[in-house]
Amino acid sequence: MSLSIGMRAQIRAMVFVAGEPIPFFWPMRSFIHHNPLHGLEHKSFEEAIAEGKRLFHGAGFLPRTQYQQYFREGKIKGAYLENGVKQFLDQQAPIDDLDLHACLMMLLTDIESPITSNESLVSVPDISAALRDENLSSAEDIDLDVIAERMCQSLYENCPLYDTLDKLFGTGIAEELDELVVKSCLDFFDEGQSVWQMPGREKGFFLAWREVALRNARLLLRGRQIHKTLQMADDPEDIIVYVMESLGIPKDNWMKCFRLELAKLHGWAGFIRWRSSNRQYHKAKKFPGDLVDFLAVRLTLALALVRERGENDVPQNAEQLQQFIRNKPMETYLRRELYDKRVLAKWAQEIAMALHYGQQKKIEKVGLAYMQDKRTRVANMQADLLRRLAKCANAVPRLESMPDVALRQVLELIRRFEKHEGMLWLEAMEATAMYEFVKGAQMEMLPATDKRPFAQALFCIDTRSERLRRHLESVGDYQTFGIAGFFGVPVSFIEMGKGTETHLCPVILTPKNLVMEMSVTDVQDTVVLSALEKALHDLKESVLTPFVTVEAIGLIFGFDMVGKTLAPRSYNRWRSKLNQTKPHTHLLIDKLSREQADSIVRAVQRAVISNAVEFEFEVPPEEIKDDLVRELREAALGNIASSPLLEQQLNNNTEQAQAFIQRLRNAYLVNKSDARMQMERLGRIGFSLDEQVGFVSQALRSIGLTDNFSRFVLVVGHGSQSENNPYESALDCGACGGNKGLFNARIFANMANKPAVRQRLKSQGIAIPDDAWFIPALHNTTTDEVAMHDLDLLPSSHPIYLDRLQNGLISACRLCTQERVPSLEFVSHTPIEHASKRAQRNAMDWSQVRPEWGLSRNVYFVIGRRQLTETTSLDGRAFLHSYDYRVDHKQRLLENIITGPLVVGQWINMEHYFSTVDNENYGSGSKVYHNVAGRFGVMTGNLSDLRTGLPAQTVLADGKPYHEPMRLITVIDAPMKRVQAAIDRVAIVRKLLINGWIRLMVIDPETKQIHVHNKGQWDAFTDMHNAEKIIDEEAV
C-alpha cells in the first residue's frame, strides 16, 4: 500500500495534534520545570484535571483526609470553606427539611472517604432498601444489554483497544507492549550509556527499528506477524494506516486513539516530542525520530500481539470485540470483574472456573448470584455513610423515610458536590494563603530616601532568594531587588572545553547571541594576541584528533562530531583534567568586526588543510610549508585551478591532487559556501553595543533601579550543589534553562560595567556613577553561601570596602542556614550553630537524597516594590520580582514580566502542584528506585516509562505532602487599570487567568484597594474575606 502525500501529511498532523497534551520531557541535564497538563491549558483547570485523569490516570487533588488535616491545622480556614459550600448550594435546588449546608460541611470535615460510588449496578431503590435494612430486589431486573451497549459505544473513549482485551480476557498485551516499546526506545535513543549501539540510527527511528525488528530474536516468536505488517509498507505513516484499518477502527476515532496510545508511555512520548521539536539538539539532528515513528513502532507491535493472542479465540479487531460484548453481556461483565481486578475476593475462584468451562448457563447462574452480592455490599456501604452524614445533621429519621425521588435528588447532589469538592478545598486553601499574605503586607507607600545604601544586590526571583534577601537586609545597609535570574539577557553559551551550546535563558526563548568562555593565559599572550586569535590559540592547543578543532570553534564550523565520537576516552580524560584546574576565564561578549571574523575563518581553513595533509599523506607537520597550505586553500576555494606544489609532492600525480582538493571542499568543508556560513555563525558571537545598552537598560528599569546606585551592585545568580543526583539541575536556575546562573551574572555585570554602555545609559536617563561597580556572584542554594566572581576586575578604589561586604554576606548566609536547615528532616536535631556545616555536608554527600528542599512550598509570585513585603517573612515561599509602576511609563515592563517570568513561575508551580497531588502518576516516585536511562532520564527499576516530574523526596516528607499544593497566587502592586490593560494585551496570561491556572490579586497602591480575580470577574478583597469572622476563628 502507498498513501498520497496529502494523506501522509494528514496522518502526521493528526499525530502532532494527538500528541499535544503530552508534556515535553527535557533531558535531565537541564531539568525544566513544566506543567504536566500544559497541553491542556486551553481548558479550565478543573476540566483539564478531568482530562488528565482520563489520559494519564492522575489525580488532580489531594485526598480528602489531607485537606482535612490542613483544615485542622488552620491552613484552610472554615470561613472560606463555608463560603464555597454556600456558593455551590446557591446553584442547586433546595431539598425540603434537610440542612444541606450542615450536611456538606460535615461531609467535608468529618467523613474520610467519598459517599457516592461509580458502581453502575447500584440504583437509588437499592440504597433506599439498604437504608431501611430491607433486602434488595433481584439482580435479574438489571438490564445487562444496556451496560453492554454503553461499553460498545465508548470503546475508544478511555483506553486503546488492546487494553479492553486485557480487561476482558486477561491477555496482558498492554504490559508486554510497553516493555517492548521501552526496549526499542532505549536502543534507539541511547546517548552513550550502552556499550553496543543500535545500527542504522541515522536513518531515523522507525526505519532503524524496522531493520532490527525483522532480525531481532526477541521478536522472533511473533516475527511472522511483524513481518506481515512491515511488508505492507515502508513509511511509518502507511504502517499506521494499515494497523488502524486492520484493527477495524473507524477513521473518525483515529486521533482519539493516537492520543490514548501516546499517553500510555507519556514520558518517552514527551521526550521524543521535545527532541523532534528541538532542532538545535545535536542527537536529534544525527538520529532523527518523532512521534510518527514512535506510533508506528508501537502500533506494529500492538497488532502483532493482538494477532498472536487472537489465536486463542480472543477477538482480533473492533468488530469482533463488539460482537462478543453484545452476544455475551453476562460473560463480558464477569470477565471485566475478574480481569480488571474489581471482583470480590471470595468470588474470584468460582467466577474463574465458570469462565474457564464456558457453559453459558453456569455463567448466568454465577453471574446473577455475584451481582446480587456485590450490589448489596455497595448499597450497604453507601447507606452507612449516608446515615453517618445524616446523624450529624440530626436527619436520620428523615433520611430513612425519604421517598426514592428525594433520595435520588440527595445522591445526585452529593455526587456533583464530591466531583467538585477538590476545587472547593483548593479555593479555600488559596483564599487562606491570600489572607495570610495581606495580613503581613506593608501597604503604605513609604517616601524614597536619598541615602545611598552600602550595597545593592540583584537576586533571582527564585523563592530561595527571599530568605537570603531578608537576612541580608537585616544585617546592614543593603538594598535588594528581584529579577529573573538570566537578568534579561538570553544567551547561548559555550563553556570552555565543551563542544555544545547551552541556552542560558528560559526555554520559552531562543537566544540569538552566542558568548564563549576563554582562558586568560599569561600576560604576554594578551599583548600579542587579539581576543580572536586567542580563541584560535585555544583551538590549536587542544587538538585531539586528526581534524583540527577546539570543540567550541568546531561547533561553529560544523566539525562538531569530532571529539566525542572518535576519541571518547582521551576526550573525557582531557575534560576531567580541564575541570580540575579550570583556569581564570573571561567571556567573549563583544561582537567581532568583519576583519576579525574573516581572519578566523582563514586561520581555521589553514589549520584544517595542514591537518588534512598530515593525516591523509602522513607528512610530519614540520614538513608542511605555509606556501603549500596557502596554495591548497586558494585551490579549494576555486580561486586557482590546481596546486602545483602538491602535485610536485605527489610526483606529478595530478589526479590524486585534484581528488584531494575535492575532498578538502566536500569533507573538510573548505569552500566558499561553507565559509559564508561560518562567517554567519561567527556573526552570532557577542552583543553589539546597542544590544548591550538595551538589555542593561531594560533590566534596570524593569526592577525600578534607575538612580541612587551603590558603590557595589551585586548581580547574584544561583545554583545548587549535590552529588550523585540526576535531579541536580532541577534545583538550579529555571530562568537560565535549568543551569547555574553565574554566567548570566558575569555577562550582565560585564556589560553594565562597560564605560561605553554607561555613557549611552546616561543619555537615556540612567546615570550610573563612576564609583558604582557591578560584581557577579553565585548563591549556592544548598549551603546559602554567596561567592563573588571576577574580583580581579574590581577598580582600585573598591577593595578596601570588600571586607565589609564579605562579612555581610557571611552573616546573611549563616542566618539563612539556621532558618532553613531545621526543615530538612535528616538534620533536624542539628544544633543551630552547626547548621552551616550540615548544609555543606549535604552538598558533598553522595548518599543524600534531599540536599535541599529547592522550590518546594512555593505559592506566591509578587510583582512590586520590596516595601510591600520587606516587613514580613515569606518563609522562602515567594517568587519576588521587583517592579515600580512609576518608572514603567509605556507599561511595557509589566507586560514583559507577566509574559516571561510569571509564565515560568507558573510552570514551576504547576510541576510542584501535580507532583505532590499524585506523585506516582505526575511525579517520578521515589529516587531510591531510580536508574538512569540513556543518559537523559530516569526509569523506576530497570525498565519503565521515563519518569517525569519531581521525585517524592522533593515534595513529600514521610509520604505526606511537604509542598502545599496551590495554584500560583500572583500579587501585582500597581494601579488596577494598568494591570487590566497589561493582561488584556498578553494573550497567554489572559488565558491562564481566565482558565484558572493562576490566581491573581492586585494591590492598588493609589486607591489602597485589593482586587481578587475569581473565575472571570474581579471581587473586592474585603467582600471575599470576611475579616471579622476569620479573626474570631483564629482566636478560637
Partner 1 sequence: MKNLKFSPLKKLEIILEGEYQAFATDILDRIGVKGYTIINNLSGKGSHGFHDGHLMFNEDDVLIMIIAAVPEPMVEPIMQGFAPFYNEHSGVVFISDIQVTRLVKFSNQDASE
Interface residue list for partner 1 (CB under 8 A): 4-10, 12-14, 16-17, 20, 255, 277, 279, 488, 506, 508-510, 698, 895-896, 899-901, 903, 984-988
The dihedral formed by the CA atoms of 539, 542, 544 and 546, expressed in degrees to the nearest 10 = 40
Least distance CB 511 / partner 1 (angstroms): 10
Nearer to partner 1, 10 or 137 (CB): 10
1024 touches 1012 (CB < 8 A): yes
Q: Which residues of 724-740 are buried (b: 16+ CB within 10 A; e: fewer)?
A: ebbbbbbbbbbbbbbbb
Closest CA to 508 of 189, 986, 937, 885: 986
Classify residue 946 by its DSSP letter: B
Question: How many other CB atoms are found less than 10 A from the CB of residue 997?
Answer: 24
Least distance CB 973 / partner 1 (angstroms): 20
Query: Cα(821)–Cα(352) distance, rounded to whole angstroms?
Result: 56
Query: Cα(51)–Cα(37) distance, rounded to whole angstroms?
Result: 9
CA dist 715 → 29, 778, 862 (Å): 25, 8, 20
Nearer to partner 1, 448 or 987 (CB): 987
CA angle 584, 590, 592 (to 5 degrees): 110
954 touches 948 (CB < 8 A): no
- The residues facing 586 across adjacent strands are 518
Nearer to partner 1, 180 or 747 (CB): 747
Query: Cα(354)–Cα(757) distance, rounded to whole angstroms?
Result: 85
Least distance CB 290 / partner 1 (angstroms): 9
Least distance CB 508 / partner 1 (angstroms): 5
Least distance CB 43 / partner 1 (angstroms): 12
Q: Where are the alpha helices (DSSP H) in 39-140?
A: 45-56, 64-72, 78-90, 100-110, 124-131
Nearer to partner 1, 488 or 934 (CB): 488
Least distance CB 274 / partner 1 (angstroms): 11
Question: How many other CB atoms are found less than 10 A from the CB of residue 748?
Answer: 27
Nearer to partner 1, 904 or 1030 (CB): 904
Closest CA to 518 of 554, 493, 487: 493
Least distance CB 16 / partner 1 (angstroms): 5
Those residues whose C-beta lies under 8 Å from the C-beta of residue 17, and which sit 6 or more positions away, are 255
927 touches 986 (CB < 8 A): no
Largest CA distance in the chain: 114
Least distance CB 906 / partner 1 (angstroms): 12
Nearer to partner 1, 508 or 528 (CB): 508
877 touches 869 (CB < 8 A): no
- Mapped to the 3 state alphabet, what secondary structure does 996-1036 carry? CCEEEEEECCCCCCEEEEECCEEEEHHHHCCHHHHHHHHHC
Classify residue 583 by its DSSP letter: P
Least distance CB 235 / partner 1 (angstroms): 11
Least distance CB 895 / partner 1 (angstroms): 7
- The residues facing 788 across adjacent strands are 777
Least distance CB 99 / partner 1 (angstroms): 45
Query: Cα(68)–Cα(70) distance, rounded to whole angstroms?
Result: 5
970 touches 1000 (CB < 8 A): yes
Least distance CB 648 / partner 1 (angstroms): 43
Least distance CB 696 / partner 1 (angstroms): 14
Those residues whose C-beta lies under 8 Å from the C-beta of residue 476, and which sit 6 or more positions away, are 454, 804, 808
Nearer to partner 1, 395 or 986 (CB): 986
Nearer to partner 1, 605 or 906 (CB): 906
- The residues facing 480 across adjacent strands are 457
Nearer to partner 1, 288 or 851 (CB): 288
The three-class DSSP label of residue 604 is helix
Nearer to partner 1, 294 or 339 (CB): 294
Query: Looking at this protein, which amino acid is placed at residue 274?
Result: W
Least distance CB 778 / partner 1 (angstroms): 24
Least distance CB 885 / partner 1 (angstroms): 18
Least distance CB 539 / partner 1 (angstroms): 32
- Mapped to the 3 state alphabet, what secondary structure does 706-741 carry? CCCCCCEEEEEEEECCCCCCCCHHHHCEHHHCCECC
From edge to edge, which strands make up the β-sheet containing 502-504?
A: 502-504, 491-494, 514-519, 585-588
Nearer to partner 1, 147 or 988 (CB): 988
Residue in the structure block whose three cell numbers are 517616601: 447
Nearer to partner 1, 14 or 399 (CB): 14
Nearer to partner 1, 16 or 617 (CB): 16
Nearer to partner 1, 288 or 1005 (CB): 288
Least distance CB 989 / partner 1 (angstroms): 9
CA angle 923, 34, 732 (to 5 degrees): 90
Nearer to partner 1, 279 or 829 (CB): 279
Nearer to partner 1, 510 or 1022 (CB): 510
Nearer to partner 1, 510 or 666 (CB): 510
